[in-house]
A = this chain, B = another copy of it.
Amino acid sequence: MNMPLKKKPVSGMKDILPIEMQIREYVLEVIRSTYRSFGYTAIDTPAVEHIENLSSKQGGDNEQLIFKILKRGEKLSLQNAESENDLCDSGLRYDLTVPLVRYFAAHENELPTPFKALQIGNVWRADRPQRGRFRQFTQCDIDIIGDASSAAEVELILATAQALTKIGFKGFQIRVNDRRILSFMASYCGFGEEEQTEVFASLDKMEKIGNDGVLAELEEKGFDSVKIKKVLDIIAVLQKLGRESDASSLMKQLALLLKGYLNPHVAADLGTVINNILALKTSEWEIVFDPTLVRGMGYYTGTVFEVNVPELGGSLGGGGRYDKMIGAFTGKNVPAVGFSLGFERIILLLMERGFVVPEQSERRAYLIEKGVENSKVIEIMQKAQLEREQGEIVLVIWMNKNKKFQIEQLQKEGYTQIVDVYLEDSKPT
């Protein structure tokens, strides 16, 4: 006798039940076909990545959340292991950006320039489990590698907005900012360049932990209290001014606030991004300038952006420009910008809204009474096959004893045509 099975999935991960799976497959197909229509090229990378690449400091806090994989065979020596890293040579990827950068570095010569990549795949983070947040989840990333112009940002944002619109979202807001604008602000407040990554990491938590939380964290990190006060005051003023689709008026006020610290070229570039998107967008969503937007990752060098929907606290996705990340790995900088959709949040929202996948095929079920002669079964299966060829989904199954319950279940699954096949002599008259 075997050990009894552990029935539940491992802690923090989940089985996908049929109804959710239908929605996931539908949404993935919408995302895939939308991005494909913009000329993005699908790629795939292994789930397992070198531990060195995952620990390169590009991954920020996610590097604390790696599922590490044990070495195998002779390479594993329990006796000589002094730390975790002696036991592991690889881990599960925590995002799709590190693998993308490795992929690009390995295959650059085989890829078009610029390279517009679409990568959809699972990532793993050993986060504390909490509602709606899982340790395995799907990400959908598009990235443009090799285009330094703001046309890349415009297209990433338009393509993503179109995918969200096709899924059925309306009235969402895409906020944009530029890390360099944050940097000008930090410089104006007296923070040195080397301090800024830490300052931004704290400012990024504003929505989660509030002004006081950020204040406490910055003090704890040991920053000068005058500088902290200055930066928090500016943020408060900017928040009052609000987010603006008329970027130039907000930019003017920002320039006044920062008294000469704002580089006009950077401001103009961001203005172009926003104005071009305003000129090109055709559906109901907003693009706004939000000079308080940070985005967590340390590797961003320019524009950053984030999608929010009114009814959801967090974001549905985001991204930004990371012109120095490839160089940090390979020694040669290549401009890059990416947008990552929060697939799991999209699914969660759709499930909560009771979203039903638009049915493209008629669903028909043949319920065959047990004992029906073989020739009759063959005849039904032939008929079913012809119907499948005409685009129907056709199920041929045995009739259960509790036929009423069986039919109810089938109707729930979307079977509208249910045909009973009885034994000749038991056919109801």
Residues of A within 8 A of B (CB): 1-10, 13-18, 21-22, 24-25, 32, 36-39, 41-50, 52-53, 56-58, 67-70, 72, 76, 78, 81-84, 87-90, 92, 101-103, 105-107, 110-114, 116, 122, 124, 126, 135-136, 147, 149, 151, 154-155, 158, 272, 276, 279-280, 282, 328-331, 361, 363, 365, 374, 377-378, 381-382, 385, 388, 392-398, 400, 406, 409-410, 413
A–B Cβ pairs within 8 angstroms, 17 of them: A8-B106, A10-B48, A15-B103, A18-B43, A37-B393, A41-B413, A47-B47, A47-B124, A48-B136, A68-B69, A69-B92, A76-B84, A112-B406, A149-B398, A151-B398, A155-B396, A276-B374
Q: Do B52 and A280 touch (CB < 8 A)? A: no
B397 near A6 with CB under 8 A, answer no
Q: Are A374 and B69 in contact (CB under 8 A)?
A: no
Q: A41-B18, A83-B78 are in contact. Are A114 and B397 (CB under 8 A)?
A: yes
Contact A280 B385, CB 8 Å, known A15-B46, A395-B39: yes
- Residues B38 and A106 in contact, CB atoms below 8 Å apart: no
Nearest B residue to A138, CB-CB: B44
Extra contacts, 19 of them, besides A15-B106, A18-B43, A70-B87 (Cβ < 8 A), are: A9-B102, A10-B90, A13-B48, A15-B46, A18-B41, A18-B111, A21-B41, A21-B42, A36-B393, A39-B363, A48-B136, A69-B70, A70-B84, A112-B406, A112-B410, A155-B381, A155-B396, A276-B374, A276-B377
Residues of B within 8 A of A69 (CB): 67-70, 92
B392 touching A37, Cβ below 8 Å: yes
